[in-house]
Amino acid sequence: MIEVQNLRKQYGDLVAVEDVSFTAEAGQIFGLLGPNGAGKSTTISCLCGLLPPTSGQVRILGHDVVQDGPASRQQLGVVPQELALYEDLNAADNLAYWGAAYGLSGAALRSRVSTVLEAIGLLDRAKEPVSQFSGGMKRRLNLGCAIVHEPKVLLLDEPTVGVDPQSRVRLLELVRELVDAGTCVLYTTHYMEEAEALCDRLAILDHGRIIAAGTLNELRGRVSDRDLVRLSGQFPVEAVRGALEALAEAEVLQIEEDQLRLAIQAAGSRLPELFQVVQQAGGEIRETNVARPSLESLFIELTGKELRE
């Protein structure tokens, strides 16, 4: 349903997306993970035809988004990262307008509007101006406007940013329902837990490139069984690095004057040993964080930094 081949987008000297390729199928959620500025939104913009790719090919349901733009967008729903609603209209009018923009009219449009209002839990608030809605309600309506025409492909660009937990759960339930009905979903996020809970297949983006891709299990298989330890404090870089190299089954991922990251086997039982080595090398530890292996730890292993940085 979504085919991206060797996508490249360049602005002057800045390469925002480089050689990105992936495919996403019907009834599947494809997650695009990466920190801010990794190229997720640029990829989405190329997919929905807002940005012409510098090179490469993007096809939606077999339609090239450059050569056959309107046809590729006919079965595409887009949930932008920022809210895109008419705040001075009510929820029903917003849905009716966006439904009409995708070719719905008459009884079919009215029927879809009420179905979507019910699905997003706004049926009883349908005639209220959107400006009076809470943030969570606006997020749900934002999603509703993208699915009013029953698209076969849905692009969700960080749809849960700034959403309260209750609305987030409702939004994710809605996405799952759409996927169960056969919709192909491309989901971008920098919340690893959300991606792990939701996505069938994933690609991790950094600096415009895909650094890892596969099913959730495939990616988990790439994560070693070592725990991730993050220490904060004061560290003489060279002395601490040298001391840790002597430590068995430990790998320094990143070391700076105020922060140290390393992967270490059975960290829980080896912390005293670790503290002793660091302190003997002149380091001073103020805070310690131990994490079990996850997509986040894979990202840190691959890039040496956290997703939220």
Partner 1 sequence: MNWPFLRAAVVKDLRRVVHDPWRFALWLGIPLLIGTLMTTLMGGSDGPQPRAQLYLDDQDESFLSGALLNAFSNEQTGGLIQVERMSRAEGLARLNQNRGTAVLVIPAGFGQAVLEEEPVTLELLTNPAQRILPGILEEVLELVREGVFYVHRVLGEELQLMVDGPEPGEFTLADPKVAQIAVSINQVVQSLGDYLDPLLIELESAVDAPPTKTEEEGVSLPASFYMLPSVLMMALFFLAQGLSEDYWTEREAGTLRRGACTPRKMSSLLAGKLLAVSCVFAAIGVLLFAAGYLYHDYLPWSTLPLAVLWWTAGGLAIYLLLSWVQMLCTSRRGGSILTNLLMFPLLMMGGSFFPFEAMPSWMAEAGRFTPNGWVLQQLKPVILGRTQLLGLGAPLGGLFVAGAVLLVLLRARLRRVVVRG
Q: What are the residues binding partner 1 (CB under 8 A)? A: 45, 48-51, 69-71, 73-74, 76, 78, 80, 82-89, 93, 96-98, 100-106, 129, 145
* Residue (1 or 104) nearer to partner 1, CB: 104
CA 271 to chain centre: 33
- Rounded least distance, CB 75 to partner 1, Å: 9
CB of 10 to partner 1, least distance (A): 14
Nearer to partner 1, 106 or 272 (CB): 106
In the bound state with partner 1, the residue whose beta carbon lies nearer, of 92 and 250, is 92
Q: Toward partner 1, which CB reaches closer, 106 or 165? A: 106
Identify which of 164, 230, 186, 198 has the alpha carbon closest to the alpha carbon of residue 65: 186
- DSSP run (H or E) holding 155: strand 153-157
- What separation in angstroms does the CA of 27 have from each of 24, 30, 182, 187? 9, 10, 4, 13
Q: Give the Cα-Cα-Cα angle 279, 275, 193 (nearest 5 degrees).
A: 130
Q: How far is the CB of 103 from partner 1 (least distance, A)?
A: 7
Q: Classify strands 184-189 and 153-157 as parallel, antiparallel or unpaired.
A: parallel
* Least distance (Å) between residue 186 CB and partner 1: 13
Residue number, 46 or 263, with CB nearest to partner 1 = 46
Gap between the Cα atoms of 64 and 4, Å rounded = 10
166: left (phi over 0), alpha (psi -120 to 50) or beta: alpha
Q: CA gyration radius for the chain? A: 23
Q: How far is the CB of 125 from partner 1 (least distance, A)?
A: 17
